Amino acid sequence: MSREEDENRAWKKEYSIVLLLNFIYILIFMYIMTSFT
């Protein structure tokens, strides 16, 4: 496998951002649920 292919398949910081942001969304949803109901 070439270096470029390896890079294409490597974990990137953007994926961590996706996971982190979606985790934050869930926390916000929990906050809305508990604060407004």
Q: Does 11 bind other proteins (CB under 8 A)?
A: yes
Least CB distance to other proteins at residue 9 (A): 5
Give Dmax over CA atoms of the chain in angstroms: 55
Tokens of 20: 């982190």
Q: Does 14 bind other proteins (CB under 8 A)?
A: yes
Tokens of 14: 């953007």
Pairwise CA distance, residues 18 & 15, whole Å: 5
Binding-site ranges for other proteins (CB under 8 A): 5, 8-9, 11-12, 14-15, 17-19, 21-22, 25-26, 29-30, 32-33, 36-37
